[in-house]
Structure 1
Amino acid sequence: MIPPKEIILKAISEVKPYIDQRISQFKSLKEKGLTVFDFKPFVDIKAYEADIFSEACFCILTANFKAEVGIKIQAEVGIEGFKKYSLEELYNIFRKHGHRFVMQRAERIVNLRPLESFLQEIRFYDDGKKAREELVKKVTGYGYKEASHFLRNIGFEDVAIIDRHILRFLFENNLVKPRKTLTKNVYIESESALEKLCQELNLTQGELDLYIFYIKTKKVLK
């Protein structure tokens, strides 16, 4: 069995420039509140702008759904669309792209609009774990995974996104014991296991997540 460290080092040798580019785009969101995402050659879509609010909406769209479809929806709706489109307009776009939870996600995004100022303030927090607790309390549809996803995508480096790809990597490499449900305790345990890998490889949690996602999917998304 190949040690997980060696698996990740191989991925670093293959896609480091793309990972570095994505991390730079995330940091631009944290510092400027605006970025340009470019997903070529992994997704055939033109580069597009995103802001803090549209990124929060993206993380609602991709909860238990495909990141690639979320990217295509985010590109089409655009910064202003997430803030201004009617529930029906959002519903029709999500349905066109084959989203599994069309009305639920459209409603959650409309209901997120009064929290735009709060989401802007979050990016100035120093501690990602404290910011995560605030997000879970206030944002409908955000658990630890979704809140961590949003924070990573706006430049935080100290939280892990424990999704099915990450859990499978941890289980397969005996870094945590297999569990049937992702409780808060299991999430924290998994995050700690990833932190040890981060220290060994001199990577942030955000970078490590992108490398593991690449290992599992052969794509660098977000």
Structure 2
Amino acid sequence: MIPPLHEIKEAVNSVKDHVDKRIAQFRNLKEKGLTEFDFRPFLDIDPYRADIFSEASFCILTANSSAALGIKIQKEVGIEGFKKLSTDDLFQIIRKKGHRFARQRAERIVMLRDKMDIIEKAVKIKSGKEARDILVKEIYGYGYKEASHFLRNTGFEDVAIIDRHISRFLFEKGIVKPRKTITKKVYLECEEALEDLSGELGISLAELDLYIFYIKTGKVLK
């Protein structure tokens, strides 16, 4: 088994430019409220623009799905579509792309529109962990993973996304004891382990997530 630090350093050598570009795109969202995502060469999809609400909706789409599918839907719906399309219109687009929970996701995105003030306030909070607690409490469909995902994608670098790829890496490397269910306690244990890794490597949690995701999937997405 390749030691985790060695494997991550190899990933840094391979895709640092792509990770740096993605982090810059996230920071644009935080600082300007708008960014342009370009996932080439990892996905054959043209660059597109996203704003804060579009990204909040994207993180609803990826729950129990995949980043790649969420990206394809996000591009097709567009910034204005997430804010204005009816539930049925959203449902048709999401279903056409092959999402298993198209109706539920469409309904949650429409519900999310009423929480825009909370979302906008959250991205202005200095602490990602504090912002995460607010989002988990206030946003229907957001658990720790979804809230952390949104915050990382909007420029926060102090929260970790414990999805199946990241947890599998931690379990396989013996860094965290394997669990079948990611409870809040396990989530925070995994996050603490990643904080230790990021400290040893001298990179942020946001960067570390992208590198581990690349190790497990061969892609730098979001």
CA distance in 2, matches of 1:113, 1:87: 12
1:9 maps to 2:9: yes
Deviation (angstroms), 1:121:
1.6
AA matched with 1:70: G
CA distance in 2, matches of 1:47, 1:2: 35
AA matched with 2:59: C
Q: Which residue of 2 aligns with 1:95?
A: 95
Deviation (angstroms), 1:193:
0.4
Structure 1 counterpart SS, 2:2: coil
Percent identity, please. 65
AA matched with 2:202: N
Kindly report structure 1 stretches of 4+ aligned residues shifted beyond 6 Å: none
AA matched with 2:44: D
1:142 maps to 2:142: yes
CA distance in 2, matches of 1:139, 1:118: 9
Deviation (angstroms), 1:49:
0.5
CA distance in 1, matches of 2:15, 2:93: 32
Deviation (angstroms), 1:122:
1.2
Deviation (angstroms), 1:85:
0.2
1:192 maps to 2:192: yes
Q: Which residue of 2 aligns with 1:118?
A: 118
1:77 maps to 2:77: yes
TM-score (norm 1): 0.99
Structure 2 counterpart SS, 1:50: strand
Deviation (angstroms), 1:68:
0.4
Deviation (angstroms), 1:92:
0.4
> For each residue in 1:82-131, what CA deviation from the matched residue of structure 2 results, as whole angstroms up to 9, or x when unmatched?
00000110000001100010110000000000111221121110100000
> For each residue in 1:126-164, what CA deviation from the matched residue of structure 2 results, as whole angstroms up to 9, or x when unmatched?
100000000000000000000000000000000000000
1:203 maps to 2:203: yes
Q: Which residue of 2 aligns with 1:37?
A: 37
Give the unaligned 5+ runs of structure 2: none
CA distance in 1, matches of 2:117, 2:53: 9
CA distance in 2, matches of 1:172, 1:111: 38
1:51 maps to 2:51: yes
Deviation (angstroms), 1:187:
0.4
Deviation (angstroms), 1:26:
0.2
CA distance in 1, matches of 2:187, 2:91: 32
CA distance in 1, matches of 2:43, 2:121: 31
CA distance in 1, matches of 2:150, 2:196: 22
Deviation (angstroms), 1:33:
0.5
CA distance in 2, matches of 1:80, 1:216: 33
Structure 2 counterpart SS, 1:39: coil
CA distance in 1, matches of 2:221, 2:194: 19
CA distance in 2, matches of 1:15, 1:64: 26
Deviation (angstroms), 1:2:
1.8
What RMSD in Å do the two structures reach over aligned CA positions? 0.6
> For each residue in 1:24-70, what CA deviation from the matched residue of structure 2 results, as whole angstroms up to 9, or x when unmatched?
00000000000000000011111000000000000000001011011
Q: Which residue of 1 aligns with 2:220?
A: 220
